Homo-oligomer: A and B are copies of this chain.
Amino acid sequence: MISFESDYIAGAHPKVLEALLQTNMVALSGYGSDPFTERAKENIRKVCECPEAEVHFLVGGTQTNAVVISSLLKSYEGVVAAETGHVSTHEAGAIEHTGHKVLALSQCDGKIDSSELASYLAGFFADANHEHMVFPGMVYISHPTEYGTLYSKSELEAIADVCRRYEMPLYLDGARLGYGIMSRETDVTMADIARLCDVFYIGGTKVGALCGEAVVFTKSNAPKHFTTIIKQNGALLAKGRLLGVQFDALFTDNLYFDISKHAIHMAEQLKAVLKEKGYTFYLESPTNQQFVVLEDEKYEKLKEQVAMSFWEKPDETHTVVRLATSWSTREEDVEVLRGIL
């Protein structure tokens, strides 16, 4: 059995684990007040070319989305997101659980469009009854999206522009940010993201860590007492070192980007094999997640030998599946797959 089920099938990158091992017996204060955490923050600020950024570490993606979004919205506001956004669909209602509506926009390949956003916002404020409706209070995008696609720099700029016009924070969910930044087809840098977004997170769980996401507030705009907010949401680790040490390792010597590049390289090989074998792609993805359409019969047979993720059923007789590479994918895994396909 070979697995392309997700980008979180392995533990931590060996260098990350090594860092945990090396620092294991150092006595440290809790809750993120240790020097490793501080150094990780500093390194992230550098990578983002954003010296004034406020960085906080949280444990997982859904938690991060819920804490960040609920801490930035007023009670009567909702978050605007693609109808396929992770917050819209696969977080078990974590956003609504905090009291806020996800205001869904239509999507194309997992992305929202700045013109549709602008026209939705214009329409909202023009509606005579808008005081009886949920106010759009911020915009959520994922990059890469849930479909592995990427915004171009000009698309990001256009969305950021609309957000600024309406004085609305732009929040980028970077659960797989490394894989986006290291895609060969992107013109977006970490500095661009820090410049264009008001807040974003750098995913660790799917890019080399056991767990952990780094939230970056780029405009000195972290909510007051954000540590207490994290605590109140049950998201503050007593052993904050677990996050600090891992991110310190990931943002030392370019590790985060090197291992992301490897995953992209593996995805390209995966893609080549799938193409060579005549598989139909559901859409064109330039990152580590690849989506193919299988006849159901084929799917049933294949999944006996290859772990993949069920994605959706486009019709009665076909299934869309996802195959993901990551920092842990080995060239030989792709070769084994080639033998099976």
Q: Does A5 touch B at the CB level, under 8 Å?
A: yes
User: Which of A70-78, A184-192, A269-277, A283-291 is the interface stretch?
Assistant: A70-78
Q: Is the CB–CB distance between A8 and B24 below 8 Å? A: no
Interface residues of A in 1-43 (CB under 8 A from B): 3, 5-6, 8-12, 14, 17, 20-21, 23-30
Known: A91-B232, A135-B225, A238-B61. A129 touches B75 (CB 8 A): no
Kindly specify which of A92-100, A156-164, A254-262 makes contact with the partner chain: A92-100
Residues on B with C-beta less than 8 A from A14 are: 24
Q: Is residue A337 within 8 Å, beta carbon to beta carbon, of the partner chain?
A: no
For residue A126, give the distance in angstroms from its CB to the closest CB of chain B. Answer: 8
A96, B231: Cα distance in complex, Å: 13
Known: A90-B133, A94-B233, A225-B135. A24 touches B11 (CB 8 A): yes
Known: A21-B21, A237-B59. A229 touches B76 (CB 8 A): yes
A238 x B206 contact (CB < 8 A): yes
Q: Look across to chain B and name the residue whose beta carbon is closest to the beta carbon of A242.
A: B210
**A205 an interface residue at 8 Å Cβ cutoff?**
yes
Contacts of A84-134 to chain B: CB distance below 8 A: 89-94, 96-102, 128-129, 131-134
Q: Is A48 an interface residue (CB 8 A)?
A: no
Task: List 7 additional contacts besides A8-B239, A76-B225; criterion CB under 8 Å.
Answer: A6-B30, A27-B307, A61-B238, A75-B232, A78-B93, A92-B132, A96-B99
Between A and B, 9 residue pairs with Cβ closer than 8 Å are A12-B20, A29-B307, A71-B75, A90-B133, A92-B232, A93-B133, A93-B134, A96-B100, A101-B101
